Structure 1
Amino acid sequence: MPVRAAAGAQASDLQDEKGETVICRGVEAHTSGPMIQVEQEAPDFRAVNAKMEEVSLSDFKGKKVILNIFPSLDTPTCALSVRQFNARAAGLKSTVVLCLSMDLPFAQSRFCSTEGLDNVIPLSVFRSHDFATHYGLRLADGPLEGLMARAVIVVDENGKVNYTQLVENISHEPDYKAALKAAQ
């Protein structure tokens, strides 16, 4: 059953031009557009892996996909979310976790290698305007303008979104339990 997390901004919270509202370093910030909604078809996007190869969401068709989206691995909460998904999603059948940020692929790869994280796939969207546009998660203003808001999206085997959470305060962790439940 599709679920939208209560912890995130709801459709009624949308700003006209600036999308969703989040708290970033103690101040209100806005995303570039409304976040994708449950039951929508997940738009395909391109991202770059550590080998500088393009990877698309469509490459994972037939699997459940958890999109762990965050501003940068150089922040404690972002790094923690990657570690948590690496540990918690390891046992899920036919499920892949894509960790998406604007970090360069080299930095993502170094982080995951150093940490021994091999149950997640780090992908950079630093040159992928399609992701930021279609998912509405690029920060349009505030201290981290240009990076992405913290969010989790679960896409089912058929490419439909069945869970979303826009984390209201970027310094907080996502609801791992709810996301993993949606991926079961």
Structure 2
Amino acid sequence: MASVTFKNNPVTLLGNEIKVGDKAPHFKVLANDLSVVTLDDTKGQVRLISVVPSLDTGVCDAQTRRFNEEVNNLGNVKVLTISVDLPFAQKRWCGANGIENVQTLSDHREISFGEAYGVHMKELRLLARAVFVVDSNDTVTYVEYVSEGTNHPNYEAAIEAAKAAK
């Protein structure tokens, strides 16, 4: 498994570590209207999946804003931001911050995404910061598990990977 710290304290990641070339695992998360969303709901599209511990924190806020701003430069790429924040809180945060280009999804109910992608931090019941790119054939083409949860991901590498995926 990837080695991750949060505020410089080691955390245990539960689930399966994803590697480039893997078939993207299925998951069930909730949209802001409480409807269930799965990987199949974006089948045939390139997906950039931005994983954050909580939208209400500085780095998570910046990460979500950055990908929201980049969407128009990515072509036919669907950007999903997944956290364990409640769907209501995600909707409120997006509205207050003008976030309209990314889809925020909540993994609070089952931590299905967290377990499937190996980002569930056992000690905190939060998701570790990570970025995944999944191509239109559901193959993972880019993976970044951010080694320190309070650090930013490599935005440029993720954006280039999303542009290159088909």
Compute the TM-score of the two structures, normalised by the length of structure 2. Answer: 0.94
How many pairs does the alignment contain?
163
Equivalent residue for 2:74, pick from 84, 92, 95 = 92
Is 1:183 aligned to 2:162, yes or no?
A: yes
Q: Where does structure 1 lack aligned partners over 5 or more consecutive residues? A: 1-13, 15-19
**Which amino acid in the other structure matches residue 7 of structure 2?**
R
Equivalent residue for 1:45, pick from 12, 21, 27 = 27
Encode CA deviations 1:81-102: one digit per residue, 9 max, x unaligned.
0000000122211101100000
**Which amino acid in the other structure matches residue 70 of structure 2?**
R
Q: Structure 1 segments of 4 or more deviating over 4 A?
A: none
Are the equivalent residues in 2 in contact too, given 1:154–1:183 (CA < 8 A)? yes
In the other structure, the counterpart of 1:153 is 132
- Secondary structure at the residue paired with 1:99? strand
Are the equivalent residues in 2 in contact too, given 1:41–1:160 (CA < 8 A)? yes
Are the equivalent residues in 2 in contact too, given 1:154–1:182 (CA < 8 A)? yes
Compute the TM-score of the two structures, normalised by the length of structure 1. Answer: 0.85
Matches of 1:33 and 1:123, distance apart in 2? 19
How many percent identity over aligned positions?
Answer: 37
Are the equivalent residues in 1 in contact too, given 2:120–2:128 (CA < 8 A)? yes
Shift of 1:32: 1.0
Is 1:68 aligned to 2:47, yes or no?
A: no
In the other structure, the counterpart of 1:30 is 12
Are the equivalent residues in 2 in contact too, given 1:45–1:128 (CA < 8 A)? no
Matches of 1:33 and 1:24, distance apart in 2? 17
Are the equivalent residues in 2 in contact too, given 1:102–1:125 (CA < 8 A)? yes
Is 1:137 aligned to 2:116, yes or no?
A: no
Q: Where does structure 2 lack aligned partners over 5 or more consecutive residues? A: none
Alignment of 1:8-19 (within 5 A): 14=1
Are the equivalent residues in 1 in contact too, given 2:80–2:104 (CA < 8 A)? yes
Matches of 1:53 and 1:33, distance apart in 2? 24
Are the equivalent residues in 2 in contact too, given 1:36–1:135 (CA < 8 A)? yes
Are the equivalent residues in 2 in contact too, given 1:89–1:180 (CA < 8 A)? no
Matches of 1:34 and 1:52, distance apart in 2? 26
Is 1:167 aligned to 2:146, yes or no?
A: yes
Structure 1, 42-51 or 151-160: larger mean CA deviation:
42-51
Shift of 1:128: 2.9
Are the equivalent residues in 2 in contact too, given 1:70–1:78 (CA < 8 A)? yes
Equivalent residue for 2:37, pick from 51, 55, 66 = 55
**Which amino acid in the other structure matches residue 150 of structure 1?**
R
Shift of 1:34: 4.0
Alignment RMSD (CA, Å): 1.1
